């Protein structure tokens, strides 16, 4: 046996100790591989979360720089709620869909497989604005209870963003819905909205923009130039989609009109935001 002076280190590691160390590293790698295989679902969820989170965080940072953190957080949560409405609607109909992706200053989108049924496609497109309408209504109720103008501003912003998405032309949600509407009901509904806008003091120009942008699609529908899937829609399906579309527009107009009066600085009942 060879002895070393105190404090000296061996030049070569003993073979048995080196073998034990290699065995320990191999066992650790094998355990890690078994864990990854066993919990591959968690890895998949993590990958999907990263796919949505980095675009979300990038957009959030851009909005914080431009608008400040408070308004930026509100905008991002409103966009997220809207897009999750589309995502879960895809899943309800059994269609594959990707989690929302965010584009700074341009909003967000949710990619999914288009259904063969045009009525289902219209409801998937409507799901986002309907979630936005529900969120706007909740913010309005909280504002009414707390008398905090911040919540009225959130309701106003949610209603406006979703109303903007109802514009009946691509790439907005309304562009996917307009082909499924029943033209006579669209014309009647447009006339009612003009009267409604005058009654609630909503800028009539906004209503006219929605109506005029939807006019080409309505004329095309009258002439028979429509989505091929429309040929399989019954009159009842067209009326259902039309009523849902008009009811969503009406709700968004109403919440925006009511909350805007309070959220706007200098209006009655306005407090500090």
Q: Tens-digit pLDDT profile for the chain (273 aa)? A: 333 345 544 455 455 555 554 555 555 556 556 655 555 545 555 555 555 577 888 888 999 998 888 889 999 999 999 999 999 999 999 999 988 989 888 888 899 999 989 999 999 999 999 999 999 999 999 999 988 888 999 999 999 999 888 887 778 898 888 878 777 776 777 777 777 777 777 666 767 777 777 777 767 766 766 677 877 888 899 889 988 998 998 899 889 888 877 766 655 444 433
Angle at 75 between CA 168 and CA 113, to 5 degrees: 50
Cβ count within 10 A of residue 230? 17
Alpha helices in 108-203 (DSSP H): 118-146, 149-165, 173-177, 183-200
What the block records as the tokens of 150 is: 């911040």
Among candidate residues 192, 129, 188, the one with its CA nearest the CA of residue 164: 129
Q: What pLDDT is attached to residue 28?
A: 55
Q: What pLDDT is attached to residue 272?
A: 36
Q: What pLDDT is attached to residue 210?
A: 72
Q: What pLDDT is attached to residue 140?
A: 94
Q: What pLDDT is attached to residue 1?
A: 39
Among all chains, which residue has been given the structure tokens 């909005």? 63
Cis, bond preceding 216 (omega within 30 deg of 0): no
Angle between helices 183-200 and 235-263 (to 10 degrees): 20
**Alpha-carbon span 135 to 258, nearest angstrom:** 15
Among candidate residues 131, 130, 94, the one with its CA nearest the CA of residue 112: 94
Q: Is the pTM of this model over 0.85?
A: no
- Maximum Cα–Cα distance across the chain: 104
- Helix and strand element counts for the chain (H, E): 9, 2
Among candidate residues 167, 179, 169, the one with its CA nearest the CA of residue 249: 167
Angle at 12 between CA 9 and CA 14, to 5 degrees: 100
HSE-CB for 208 with a 13 A CA cutoff: 4
Among all chains, which residue has been given the structure tokens 């032309």? 169
- Please provide the distance, in angstroms rounded to a whole number, between the alpha carbons at the two ends of the chain: 83
Grouping H, G, I as helix, E, B as strand and the rest as coil, residue 115 is coil
246 to 166, 187, 217, 270: CA distances (angstroms)? 10, 11, 16, 30
What the block records as the tokens of 227 is: 């989505």
């Amino acid at each position: 046996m060879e002895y070393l002076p105190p404090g000296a280190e061996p030049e070569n590691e003993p073979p048995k100790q080196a073998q034990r160390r290699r065995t320990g590293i191999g066992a650790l790698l094998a355990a890690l591989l078994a864990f990854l295989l066993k919990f591959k679902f968690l890895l998949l969820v993590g990958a999907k979360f990263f796919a949505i989170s980095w675009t979300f965080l990038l957009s959030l940072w851009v909005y914080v720089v431009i608008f400040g953190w408070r308004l930026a957080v509100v905008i991002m949560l409103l966009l997220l709620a809207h897009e999750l409405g589309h995502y879960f609607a895809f899943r309800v109909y059994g269609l594959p869909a990707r989690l929302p992706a965010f584009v700074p200053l341009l909003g967000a989108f949710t990619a999914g497989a288009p259904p063969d049924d045009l009525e289902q496609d219209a409801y998937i497109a409507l799901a986002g604005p309907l979630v936005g309408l529900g969120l706007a209504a909740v913010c309005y109720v909280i504002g009414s209870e707390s008398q905090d103008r911040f919540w009225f501003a959130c309701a106003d912003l949610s209603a406006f963003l979703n109303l903007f998405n109802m514009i009946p032309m691509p790439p907005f949600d309304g562009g996917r819905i307009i082909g499924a509407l029943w033209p006579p009901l669209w014309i009647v509904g447009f006339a009612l909205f003009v009267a409604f806008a005058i009654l609630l003091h909503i800028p009539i120009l906004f209503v006219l923009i929605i109506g005029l942008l939807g006019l080409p699609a309505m004329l095309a529908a009258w002439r028979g130039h429509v989505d091929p899937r429309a040929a399989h829609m019954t009159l009842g399906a067209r009326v259902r989609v039309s009523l849902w579309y008009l009811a969503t527009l009406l709700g968004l107009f109403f919440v925006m009109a009511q909350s805007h009066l309070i959220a706007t600085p200098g209006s009655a009942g306005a407090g500090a935001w």
